[in-house]
Every structure is written in C-alpha cells, then in structure tokens.
Structure 1
Amino acid sequence: MNGASREALAAARERLDALTDNTSVDAAKLAGELAAVTALLDREVSLRRVLTDPAQAGEAKAELAGRLLGGQVSGETADLVAGMVRSRWSQSRDLVDALEELADLADLTDAQRRNVLDDVEDELFRFARIVNSAPELRAALTDRSATSAAKGELLGSLLRGKADAAAERLVVRLVTAPRGRSLEAGLESLSKLAAGRRNRMVAVVTTAVPLSDVQKQRLGAVLAKLYGRQMHLNLDVDPAVLGGISVRIGDEVIDGSIAERLAEASRRMAG
C-alpha cells in the first residue's frame, strides 16, 4: 500500500485497537466477521469499487455499508467497516487487504488476551517449517481444484488439539482464501503481525544443533541491541549449516555458519 491507503490502514488499526481495548468485545468473533466482510468484498468487485469511489461522499459510503451489513454482523464490526469506507483508498483492493489484516490482528489480539500469543507465533513458524519439508502436504493445501471444505478438513486433522484455536483460524483462512499470496509468504506475514503485537521483530535463526536457553537469551539480547527492538526468535535446526549460526531478519541475512564461510572461501579461490 502507499499514500492514502497507508494512512487509511493506520487509522483503521487504531480504531481496532481502541475497540479491542474493551474486554467486553469478543475479539475472536470480530475476527470472523471481518473475515466474512473481506470475502464478500473480494468477490463483489463492483461493490468494492463503489465503497472506495473517491467521487462519493464518505458518509454516503458508510450508510451503504451499514445497510448491507446491518443484521449480518455485530455493531462493532459494522462501525469499524463504516469508518474504513469513509477513508480514502488509493486502490479499491487495498480496502480488502486492510480488512483481511484487521481480521488477522483481531485473532492475534484474542491470543494476546489469553496470554498465548508466544505460543501462536511458535505454532505459525512450526507449521511453515512442516509445509516446507512436506511437498505433498503443500501441494494438497495449494491445490486450486480442491474445495475450501476439503482443505479445512485436512488442516483440522493436522492442527486441532495440537495448536491454539487462534493459530488454527489464521492458517485455515490463509489456506482457504490465499487471495493471490503464496502459502509461505502468507505465513511469514502472519508471523510478522504476531511479533508486531508486542512491537517486536522476527529473527529466523538456523543452527546445526539446538540452542540452549542461555544461548537463546544472549542471542536475543544481542539482536535487540543491534536493531533497537525486542526480537522474537524462530528457531530452526539444520545440520547442513555445519556449525555456527545463520540469522534472517526480513530481507537481511547475518550468516556466521561454517558452510557459508567455506562457500565464501571457495568463491574467493575461484575468483
């Protein structure tokens, strides 16, 4: 997103935070309703364009959204959507992207309220690793000919009782309604949103052997000092790194593995 859409999304996130600060608001229910509105506007392109038409008055668009959603969703969800359509969006699709993000944030807020946000972060990361190491599973989850119900049933057999309900809802929505994203990109985006709930960054740490608790704490402290923000460490063990450690934060890679040093030496010799 850029320009007006970025500002509109920031305002919507503030309204969501203010709304979910009220503990009487059911964040999980809010997430489900926002996801339903996302699916509606993703399907109905003409409606989406009307609700983001800059030539139309914001109040008129809010009234239209209210008539469409009245009785279908809670008052909190209807008010949140009305506020979003009053805003100006650079592209009509940006509104749908924003609604999807708010649905995910509402589920993460539910996890945070129940003090299981760290667990959800770890479960999202572990699921991403499982998918990465199981090509047949990935193929089944991304098969365009498979129905959403079939994919949901498969995910239920994999996650139900083994992952938090919020993590399961997030993964099911991503898989059944990817909206053009790859499974890997969607899971990474969810991990970043989860870390952002506590103003943290995500560091993907790969080592040849598991780190001890002391090593994790030291690494987290070093990275926090280096980047000026707290870090959530997603830990992966890969014997191929041959010792040392590789850290990826966003697009930046800090590679101190023996394998990388050997590869660098080979490159220099070849040069």
Structure 2
Amino acid sequence: MNTQELSRKYAMAVFSLALDSWLTPLKAVEHELGNNATLAATLQDKDRSFSERQQALDKLIPGDSSQQVRNFLYTLLRDGDIGLLGGIMGELTHMVRGGPLVQTAKVTTALPLSDKEKDDFRQKLATQYGDSLEFDFNVDPAILGGAIVQVGDKVIDGSVVTRLAAMSNALGVKS
C-alpha cells in the first residue's frame, strides 16, 4: 500500500468516526419526529417559548450526543427549521455515499411502481446518466399518470397533467 492509499485509509477512518458521532443522534431525532407528528408540530409552534420547545427537543436527543450536535439542533429549532431535519439527513446521506459524484434520480408517478417497473427505470436512467445514481421513488396522484423524472437540474415531465395543460394552451382554453 503506497502512502497515498494509506493516507486515504486513515482519512476515511477519521471521517467515518466523526460522521457517525453526528449521524447517529441526528437519525434518532429524525426518527422520533417522523413517528410523532404531534411532537413535530409542537417543536415548530412559534407560539410556544423557545425554552419549552428546547426541553421537548432535549428529550429526543441521545444523552451521549456532543454539545455541537445539540447546538446544531437548537439552531434549527430557534430558526423554525427543525422540520428540515429529514431533508438535511437526506443530503448528508447523499454526501456520505459519494458526494457530488453521486446524483439522485427522483422518479414521481401517479401510482406505486412494481419492482420490475422500478428496475426498468433504473436501467434506462443508468444508461443515460451512468451508474452513479441513487433512486428516490415517490407517488403523487395529482400528476394523474405518466412520470416526472428529475436528475440533478434536469427534469423530464411526462405526466398526464402536464400534457393536458399543454393541450389546453395549444387550443387556447383558459383554465
């Protein structure tokens, strides 16, 4: 093993330890908020005092969490952004899995896809964008049918609702 490989190995070990000390408590809080909508609403309620909301949040934070993790969560709480924790965790997970080299393909359909349909999407998008894709499959009945695919800043909108809107515009129909 050359010095560069050895340096990378040590750096990855430190990175993993440092990251784990943040991800573990943040995941625990995210999990609790995801499973308790009432508590999540309480923490977002600006009519309640910060100290009251902070006490409620403290009950969710694992006892062995660093003060830095606590301060981060308190900042989210103070700024009314504690509801963003799920999105923050998604971004952190994305960064950990490969950083900017890995892209997320968000696939939205009107109905849930079968495993085969998901595999078909994976194959077609991997052919077009490469193998460094993570997939996020979502269901939104409002699109009526078809699919909306977003990879990076590119959006392919093949939804029925968009096609109907385009036809209405072409025919001069006002909605």
Residues 201 and 192 of structure 1: CA distance in aligned 2, closer, same or farther (over 3 Å): farther
Letter paired with 1:191 = G
Q: Is residue 52 of structure 2 the alignment partner of residue 28 of structure 1?
A: no
What displacement does 1:261 show?
0.9
Q: Is residue 108 of structure 2 the alignment partner of residue 203 of structure 1?
A: no
Superposed counterparts of 1:1-271, under 5 Å: 18-21=10-13, 25=17, 27-29=19-21, 31=22, 107=23, 127=34, 139-144=41-46, 145-146=49-50, 147-153=53-59, 176-178=74-76, 180=79, 182=81, 187-199=86-98, 200-270=102-172
Q: Are 2:43 and 2:56, in contact at CA under 8 Å, matched by a contact in 1?
A: no
Q: CA RMSD in A?
A: 4.2
Partner of 1:254, secondary structure, is strand
Letter paired with 1:198 = R
Percent same amino acid at aligned positions?
Answer: 31
User: TM-score w.r.t. structure 2 length?
Assistant: 0.59
Letter paired with 2:89 = L
Residues 189 and 251 of structure 1: CA distance in aligned 2, closer, same or farther (over 3 Å): farther
Give the equivalent residue in structure 2 for 1:99. none
Cα distance in 2, alignment partners of residues 196 and 24 from structure 1: 12
Residues 150 and 184 of structure 1: CA distance in aligned 2, closer, same or farther (over 3 Å): closer
Aligned length: 148
Residues 22 and 138 of structure 1: CA distance in aligned 2, closer, same or farther (over 3 Å): closer
Higher relative contact order (CA 8 A, sep 6+): 2
Letter paired with 1:21 = A
Partner of 2:97, secondary structure, is coil
What displacement does 1:211 show?
1.0
Q: Which moved more, 1:229-238 or 1:184-193?
A: 184-193
Cα distance in 2, alignment partners of residues 250 and 259 from structure 1: 22
What displacement does 1:231 show?
1.9
What displacement does 1:244 show?
1.0
Residues 198 and 176 of structure 1: CA distance in aligned 2, closer, same or farther (over 3 Å): same
Q: Are 2:110 and 2:143, in contact at CA under 8 Å, matched by a contact in 1?
A: yes
